Amino acid sequence: MYFYDLKDVPEKFVTPKHSTAYGRLITGDQIEVGILRFKAGEGAKPHSHPHEQIVVVTRGRVRMTIDGQDFELVPGNAAHIPPNVLHSTDVIEDSELISSKSIVGGVGHRI
């Protein structure tokens, strides 16, 4: 499939093992892109995975910790998470973000 209308992509909890992220995923052979929402007070507990990940905040405010470094991200900020690096997210206010994750072992966000 080449083109998507996001309203036709089903929403789901994408990483319930690690986070409360809820949204839509588009999966290719090498990369998966998620348009994810979090409510204030939610987030992702500390975890790591073999996937490389880039996160862009489009709405709201989140605090991320990556390899022991904390940073507060607002719309227009992005974070790069290398493979196998411990990271977590604390959602300060209702937020939306775009998350791109490499496909490893046939999976992306659904680890």
pLDDT in tens, 10-55: 999 998 989 999 999 999 999 999 999 999 999 999 999 999 999 9
Q: Which of 17, 10, 18 lies closest to 35, judged by CA?
A: 10
Q: Which residues, in sequence order, are CB contacts of 1 under 8 Å at separation 6+?
A: none
pLDDT in tens, 55-99: 999 999 999 999 999 999 999 999 999 999 999 999 999 999 999
Hey, where are the domains in the chain? 19-102
How far apart are alpha carbons 3 and 109 in whole angstroms?
A: 20
Q: Which CATH superfamily is domain 19-102 in?
A: Jelly Rolls (2.60.120.10)
Residue 110 has pLDDT above 90, yes or no: no
**What pLDDT is recorded for position 111?**
78
How far apart are alpha carbons 106 and 111 in whole angstroms?
A: 10
**What pLDDT is recorded for position 107?**
85
